[in-house]
């Protein structure tokens, strides 16, 4: 799990200078599920929590994690190994308590929490963020992205195109 640098929405193919300075921001908390399918092949599935709430804190991260684990996709797993960078918002007592007490109490899963060392380089979530940034830039070339729903639609359309 990781937070992406905020998207600055409110632009499009043609922008006036006043528009550039009045863009709003959208936060993205991303998760990557790495798992083995029934044939033993490694698979990746990405989840993004887009929000106009810009606080990158433990409370928001734990709420998103709880919501994520409620997804039908995760019902097949008994073990969840969380990995994040070593940023302060992921190393708080609040998040650790939330994972091992609150969330573990909701789900019949065993959890571990792991941290990449500082200056570890880029994780697969960071790679996914790079893809989202490219889709965002390409989307703004073609049409205006003025709100969070248009941003979500831009990503969904790009995802559909990439599966072809």
> How would DSSP label each residue in 49-95?
EEES-----HHHHHHHHHHHHTSGGGGG-SEEEEEE---GGGS-HHH
**For residue 153, how many C-alpha atoms fall within 13 Å in the half-sphere facing its CB?**
10
Separation between Cα atoms, residue 154 and residue 143, nearest integer Å: 9
Q: Is 2-162 assigned to CATH 3.30.420? A: yes
Q: Which two tokens stand for residue 154?
A: 């831009």
pLDDT 10s digits, 100-143:
999 999 998 999 999 988 777 688 999 999 999 999 999 999 89
- Can you tell me which residue has the tokens 């998760």? 31
pLDDT 10s digits, 52-69:
988 888 899 999 999 999
Containing H/E element for 68?
A: helix 58-69
91 band by pLDDT with thresholds 50, 70 and 90 = confident
Separation between Cα atoms, residue 157 and residue 153, nearest integer Å: 6
Separation between Cα atoms, residue 93 and residue 19, nearest integer Å: 41
pLDDT averaged over the chain?
90
The residues spanned by each domain of the chain are 2-162
DSSP state, 82? Answer: E
Separation between Cα atoms, residue 106 and residue 125, nearest integer Å: 25
Task: Write b or e for each residue in 46-57: b if 16 or more Cβ atoms lie within 10 A of its Cβ, otherwise e.
Answer: bbbbbbeeeebb
pTM, rounded to two decimals: 0.86
């Amino acid at each position: 799990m990781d937070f992406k640098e905020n998207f600055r929405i409110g632009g499009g193919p043609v922008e006036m200078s006043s528009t550039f300075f009045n863009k709003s921001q959208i936060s993205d908390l991303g998760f990557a599920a790495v798992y083995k399918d029934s044939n033993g092949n490694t698979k990746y599935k990405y989840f993004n929590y887009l929000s106009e709430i810009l606080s990158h804190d433990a409370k928001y991260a734990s709420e998103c994690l709880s919501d994520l684990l409620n997804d039908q996709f995760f019902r097949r797993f008994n073990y969840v190994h969380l990995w994040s960078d070593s940023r302060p918002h992921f190393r708080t007592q609040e998040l650790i308590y939330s994972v091992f007490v609150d969330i573990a109490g909701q789900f019949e899963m065993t959890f571990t929490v792991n941290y990449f060392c500082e200056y570890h380089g880029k994780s697969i979530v960071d790679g996914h963020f790079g893809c989202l940034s490219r889709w965002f830039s390409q989307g703004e070339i073609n049409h205006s992205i003025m709100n969070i729903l248009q941003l979500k639609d831009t990503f969904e359309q790009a995802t559909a195109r990439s599966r072809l």
